[in-house]
């Protein structure tokens, strides 16, 4: 069976009626989630006891948990350990979620292990009421299977949503746990206050297992301390990154943005604690006293690990000739604040080096229950010349990659959301409310207002990128990629983009949007 066959079969777990019914039922009885997960794990041929052998680092948080995991994995790989890393969501291909030594597992390995796990679950479903695990549960089981088969020295596991009832929390004996910055997100599942969310996140604490958190809002911190006390888990707050000393000048991080500094400090503590437990000869250069880390001098491998970390789609810059793309998957209010801070600083540096005038373009989408209007309001001070909106559909032609198909949201709902986002932007910018906006492709209804060229809605990511780049990015202009023709009057409105020396594009609001854009901007990512 081919890789695409595996992905198409995996996608059926997004729409499988019994899987969706499980999710609905368990929302009101969340404790059933871990019970169901254990059952699926056993049906796949694994036991929770086997997971103890993976020497796991378990990380949750609202913002920065993926970056923290990326820093941690890179540091421990720099010590020569064979690492496993499970994260979500993926940007371009599903196999990015399951990495060995920092690299997504190959298509052949993914396919082989996929059918091993899927086959066992499929064979046993009749004896279990026809049930199959939903998409994320399946991938979590697959990751555990891969890491055991590939004999990793450790596995860095990023929580999906929350912590207490997340399916990764069947882990019984992690070596260390971490909590990155907390904020409000996934409120329908986790609750609508920072205290409720902190309670859920603290659910990954385990008796006697060291845990670390970055500095949190005081209300959240009180809950985390209570959870740690209740579970009998030692909990430490990470110091500021400035508190560490090195022999080689200031610490340099491979990930851009001021907010990455707390993620890096958390990663240092997680890596150090894991290494201590592993009893690495010579130690790590951090004080043995975990309460006192401010006056320590970091070893070269810790320093280089932070500097060498890569994590696509987060504060990422890609320069394609006259067009520079700034990509960040920010999708909460706090992460958007960090994104705006990063973009403002980084774009200003690029503008100082430009050979002439620069046009700024926003490409935005947001999904789920997230408050788009709040995020868009934060983006207004960036002074974009155009704001472009599109759904998380990579291209409107049927050749679309199965890795990026989402069957849980209808196309109609996605497009309606884009039009709502555009309306919010116009209201924030006092441009009036364009009730008549339509998709900017030929043969659509003639409802596009002629007088405003500052906001546009496209049916897919490729159409939006083609219009924004105006033929000035050869990668996006690839004639092998077909797009629906855009109305001539809409092409005419792009004149300002043709007249400037450079175009700077911020792509944000959704990691899925960023992933769809990367499929076109970095063709190697989908090979």
As annotated, the binding site includes 88, 158, 186, 314, 328
H helix intervals, 353-410: 372-379
The Cα 87–Cα 485 span in angstroms is 37
Beta-strand runs (E) in 378-488: 386-389, 455-457
DSSP class of 278: H
Q: Which residues sit in the known binding site for ATP?
A: 314, 328
The Cα 516–Cα 518 span in angstroms is 5
Token match 């005419």: residue? 492
Rounded (5°) CA angle 295-297-302:
130
The answer to whether 98 touches 130, Cβ cutoff 8 Å, is no
Picking from 87, 69, 82, the residue whose alpha carbon sits closest to that of residue 264 is: 69
Using DSSP, state whether 484 is helix, strand or coil. coil
Q: Which residues sit in the known binding site for Mg(2+)?
A: 88, 158, 186
Burial class (CB in 10 A: 0-12, 13-18, 19+), 310: exposed
The Cα 144–Cα 97 span in angstroms is 12
Token match 């046009």: residue? 359
Picking from 344, 428, 322, the residue whose alpha carbon sits closest to that of residue 380 is: 428
DSSP β-ladder status, 386-389 and 297-298: unpaired
Termini Cα distance of the chain: 18
The Cα 392–Cα 411 span in angstroms is 9
């Amino acid at each position: 069976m081919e890789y695409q066959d595996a992905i198409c079969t995996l996608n059926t777990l997004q729409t499988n009626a019994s899987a969706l019914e499980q999710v609905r039922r368990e929302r009101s009885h969340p404790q059933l989630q871990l019970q169901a997960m254990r059952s699926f794990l056993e049906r796949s041929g694994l036991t929770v006891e086997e997971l103890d052998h993976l020497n796991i680092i378990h990380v949750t948080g609202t913002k920065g948990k993926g970056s923290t995991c990326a820093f941690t994995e890179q540091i421990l790989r720099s010590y020569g350990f064979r690492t496993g890393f499970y994260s979500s969501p993926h940007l371009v291909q599903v196999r990015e979620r399951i990495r060995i030594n920092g690299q997504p597992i190959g298509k052949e390995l993914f396919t082989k292990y996929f059918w091993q796990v899927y086959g066992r679950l499929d064979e046993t479903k009749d004896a279990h009421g026809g049930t199959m695990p939903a998409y994320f549960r399946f991938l979590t089981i697959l990751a555990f299977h891969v890491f055991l088969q590939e004999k990793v020295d450790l596995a860095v596991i990023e929580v999906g949503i929350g912590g207490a009832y997340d399916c990764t929390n069947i882990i019984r004996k992690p070596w260390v746990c971490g909590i990155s910055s907390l904020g409000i997100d996934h409120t329908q599942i986790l609750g609508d206050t920072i205290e409720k969310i902190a309670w859920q996140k603290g659910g990954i604490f385990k008796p006697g297992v060291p845990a670390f958190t970055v500095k949190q809002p005081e209300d959240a911190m009180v809950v985390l301390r209570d959870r740690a006390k209740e579970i009998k888990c030692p909990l430490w707050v990470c110091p500021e990154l400035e508190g560490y000393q090195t022999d080689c000048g200031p610490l340099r991080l491979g990930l851009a943005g001021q907010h990455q500094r707390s993620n890096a400090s958390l990663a240092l503590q997680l890596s150090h604690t894991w290494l201590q437990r592993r009893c690495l000869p010579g130690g790590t250069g951090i004080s043995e006293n975990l309460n006192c880390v401010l006056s320590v001098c970091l070893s070269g491998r810790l320093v280089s690990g932070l500097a060498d970390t890569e994590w696509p789609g987060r504060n990422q810059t890609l320069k394609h000739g006259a067009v520079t793309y700034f990509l960040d998957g920010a999708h909460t209010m706090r992460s958007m604040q960090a994104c705006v801070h990063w973009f403002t600083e980084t774009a200003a540096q690029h503008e100082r080096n430009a050979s002439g005038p620069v046009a700024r373009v926003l490409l935005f989408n947001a999904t789920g229950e997230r408050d788009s209007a709040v995020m868009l309001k934060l983006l207004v001070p960036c002074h974009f010349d155009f704001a472009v909106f599109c759904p998380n559909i990579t291209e409107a032609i049927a050749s679309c990659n199965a890795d990026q198909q989402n069957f849980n949201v209808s196309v109609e709902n996605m497009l309606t959301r884009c039009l709502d986002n555009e309306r919010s932007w116009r209201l924030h910018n006092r441009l009036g409310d364009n009730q008549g906006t339509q998709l900017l492709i030929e043969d659509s209804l003639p409802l596009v207002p002629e007088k405003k060229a500052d906001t546009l809605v496209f049916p897919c990511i490729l159409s939006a990128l083609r219009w924004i780049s105006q033929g000035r990015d050869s990668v996006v202009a690839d004639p092998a990629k077909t797009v629906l023709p855009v109305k001539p009057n809409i092409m005419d409105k792009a004149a300002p983009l043709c007249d400037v020396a450079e175009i700077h594009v911020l792509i944000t609001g959704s990691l899925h949007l960023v992933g769809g854009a990367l499929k076109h901007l970095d063709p190697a990512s989908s090979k």
